[in-house]
Amino acid sequence: MDDAELLMDAYRSQATASVRAKLDALLDLERLRDPRVVPLLLEVLDDRREPMAVRIHILKRLRNAELMRNYRPAIAEAMLRLLSNRSGPDLRLEATLALAQFTDMEDVLAALGGIALDPLEPIDLRYSAFTSLQQAGPTPECVSLLRQLSADEMLGPAAVRVLSSWRIQ
């Protein structure tokens, strides 16, 4: 067994460990920069029994990590599941922000648009979805979503400004 396998097994064996111990173990794994760690991170991210702080930590790492291209679809799908499962508000917010790095993946723009356009969602979540859409740039789907959003009472003026900055009427 190499270091990555040992550390992954160690993490899996500490189901009842404290949040601090789990975060320390994850930091040790992340230092390895081994692509085999990504499936474990996704497994933990999907596990509702894991502490919220651990899951949010993983989302932040997945958001900022240079990930192997092969894992991008799986990462985007895991983040989309967090949105659709109505996870905790902090987790949903982090997933919405993280999805800005995955707007080229299938269903991501539609999910972000759905949140941004939903007046029943919290405004901070809607705004995060809007900023993630903005980072996608002027793709046809994104332009269509921002045009719809331009009629929104809260986010409409911001959507109009983005469309204008893209030189789109």
Residue 61 has pLDDT above 90, yes or no: no
33 Rama class: left (phi>0) / alpha (psi -120 to 50) / beta: left
Within the chain, where are the H helices?
A: 3-13, 19-32, 37-46, 52-64, 72-84, 89-98, 108-117, 123-136, 140-149, 156-165
pTM given for the model: 0.90
Q: How confident is the model at residue 67 (pLDDT cuts 50, 70, 90)?
A: low
Break the chain into its structural domains and give their ranges: 1-88, 103-169
Share of the chain above pLDDT 90, in %: 69
103-151 pLDDT, tens digit each: 999 999 999 999 999 999 999 999 999 999 999 999 999 999 999 999 9
